[in-house]
Structure 1
Amino acid sequence: MGFFSRGVVVPVLRFSGAIGMAAPLRPGLSIASLGAAIDAAFSMSRGPSVAVVINSPGGSPVQSSLLFRRLRQLADEKRKKIYVFCEDVAASGGYYLAVAGDEIYADASSIVGSIGVISASFGLDRAIEKLGISRRVYTAGANKGALDPFQPENPEDIARLMAIQRSVHDVFIGVVKDRRLGRLKGPDGELFSGAFWSALDALELGLIDGISDVRTKMREIHGENVRLRVVPVERSWLSGRFRKLPSVLGLGGDSQGLALADDLVSAVEIRALWSRFGL
């Protein structure tokens, strides 16, 4: 009798990190790295729910869209409800993933939002001029060298980039409006300005549905005997090979080698994404 009284199994997907291919040794969140885990989450239990825990400052809009669509396709096919739980931050592409959820929850101190598009670079043309360096670029195609950071800005290039950003932003806005239909409470100019908020303010604006965590909410919905089962994410073959390389070379073992090889390659890009949100 005890066997039949066991609680509902809720698969838990953890999306933690920047979205997209940040570096060869740290692939980040992408359909290639997470697709199999998402498929497994919707197949491992007969229960009606899948939980998704998100801790991401964003990244690639394309990978955000692909992950979002895979989640929604499987939720509709399997007739399961997705519950999303935001940790430190679910912003920009991280919030894009969050709206795949039928309900979104966050910790009171979570950062949520940043519904916008950003492109950042440096202008180095004056620096190389002072150093006596001349830039030599040869292209086939008038716009092939657009936005080269070693050349002065071209207003036409900027206008073209901003048009692309507006198009991507419109897609993002459409997804949020569709998924949060009837729940958004703020004006468009505020909600879609790229601003981000604490979870309490996000709740007031209708960006999330409540303040909670995955264990608490799943026990409220499925009872005290609910079982949370984290879905493992397989490492890539390339990542595994690089994990073994430092010990072969006598560089202090797997963990130290990983820190050296992985963090040095990708820390700058990832740090820049997280630092936008004070993290």
Structure 2
Amino acid sequence: MKKLFNRLLPKAWRSNAVTIPVIRLHGSIMAGGSQLRPALSLATTAGLIEKAFALDAPAIAISINSPGGSPVQSRLIYKRIRDLAAEKNRKVMVFVEDVAASGGYMIALAGDEIIADPSSIVGSIGVVSASFGFPELLKKIGVERRVHTAGKNKAVLDPFRPERKEDVERLKSLQLEIHDTFIDLVRERRGARLADDPDLFTGLFWTGKKGLELGLVDSLGDMRSVLKQRYGAKTRLKLISAQRGLLSRIGPFGSRGGAAPEMAAAAVEGMLDAAQERALWSRFGL
């Protein structure tokens, strides 16, 4: 409709400016998340992605800044982007800001092109699982741990019981399967652009500049400059916004009846999510 309307206008009135929809995928990746600190997941990003692809534009620009998180949610977001790119026949350009690592890099693979800042961090193609163990603490404070299961492996990796070799081996086998899926996706999307480097799939990460040498990214630059160079100086960037969150709906003083308990629960949940997210970012010195 917009193209038709533009053709009906006198030539002198026609606009040659191209509008590129922009999606910002910033934060850690996990199912759920809190209302105060929403995480990246298919549920929180699907609306933005579909809204961007619904616009009449030659390309979709995606800004990524994520240290990773859930491999499942990462792949679901990746797949939704690729499915819509194929359906709408749209080019996808991914721009890496500070970090596109682990699951963040998996999402970046949805781009037909990946453009990174020279000082950004890319890669970390691996799988990690971290937890704590407290069996000695229970002894010191005189607490007895009682676990009753139906199924001998139901309490695998219980943090209050001594670690068992067979449990660790089981976890490692799961990690290797997930890692293989990640590697296959990288090879499928990057193909011959990948360098022959033995460290490529070891979980190491690199700057955007080194990532270019390794074939993890296609070029270096920033979104505004690259898009204007590609589509013209008059190119406009249209940020696709999400719906308003909890605070904007109920107001700062809990004007909705019964909102105070909900706000308190959300605050606690947000603090836990913040700690988990902080641990993800700290792996990359950020």
Off by >6 Å, runs of 4+ in structure 1: 256-259
The answer for the alignment partner of 1:152 in structure 2 is 162
The answer for the alignment partner of 1:203 in structure 2 is 212
How do 1:87-236 residues align onto structure 2 when only pairs under 5 Å count?
87-187=97-197, 189-235=198-244
Alpha-carbon distance in structure 1 between the residues aligned to 2:268 and 2:159: 28
The answer for the alignment partner of 1:253 in structure 2 is none
How do 1:38-117 residues align onto structure 2 when only pairs under 5 Å count?
38-45=49-56, 47-117=57-127
Alpha-carbon distance in structure 1 between the residues aligned to 2:92 and 2:140: 56
The answer for the alignment partner of 2:271 in structure 1 is 264
Alpha-carbon distance in structure 1 between the residues aligned to 2:53 and 2:145: 53
Identity across matched positions, percent? 47
The answer for the alignment partner of 1:278 in structure 2 is 285
Q: Which amino acid aligns with 2:106?
A: Y
Alpha-carbon distance in structure 2 between the residues aligned to 1:11 and 1:20: 25
Alpha-carbon distance in structure 1 between the residues aligned to 2:70 and 2:12: 47
Gaps of 5+ in 2: 1-10, 257-262
Change (3 A) 1:22 1:267: farther
Q: TM-score, normalised by structure 1?
A: 0.90
Q: TM-score, normalised by structure 2?
A: 0.88
Shift of 1:91: 0.3
The alignment yields a C-alpha RMSD, in angstroms, of: 2.3
Change (3 A) 1:99 1:208: same
Q: Which amino acid aligns with 2:89?
A: R
Alpha-carbon distance in structure 1 between the residues aligned to 2:102 and 2:255: 40
| Residues 92, 112 of structure 2: 8 Å contact kept | yes
The answer for the alignment partner of 1:27 in structure 2 is 38
Residues matched between the structures, number:
270
Shift of 1:6: 3.0
The answer for the alignment partner of 1:252 in structure 2 is none
Shift of 1:139: 1.0
Gaps of 5+ in 1: 250-255
Alpha-carbon distance in structure 1 between the residues aligned to 2:33 and 2:41: 12
Q: Which amino acid aligns with 1:117?
A: V
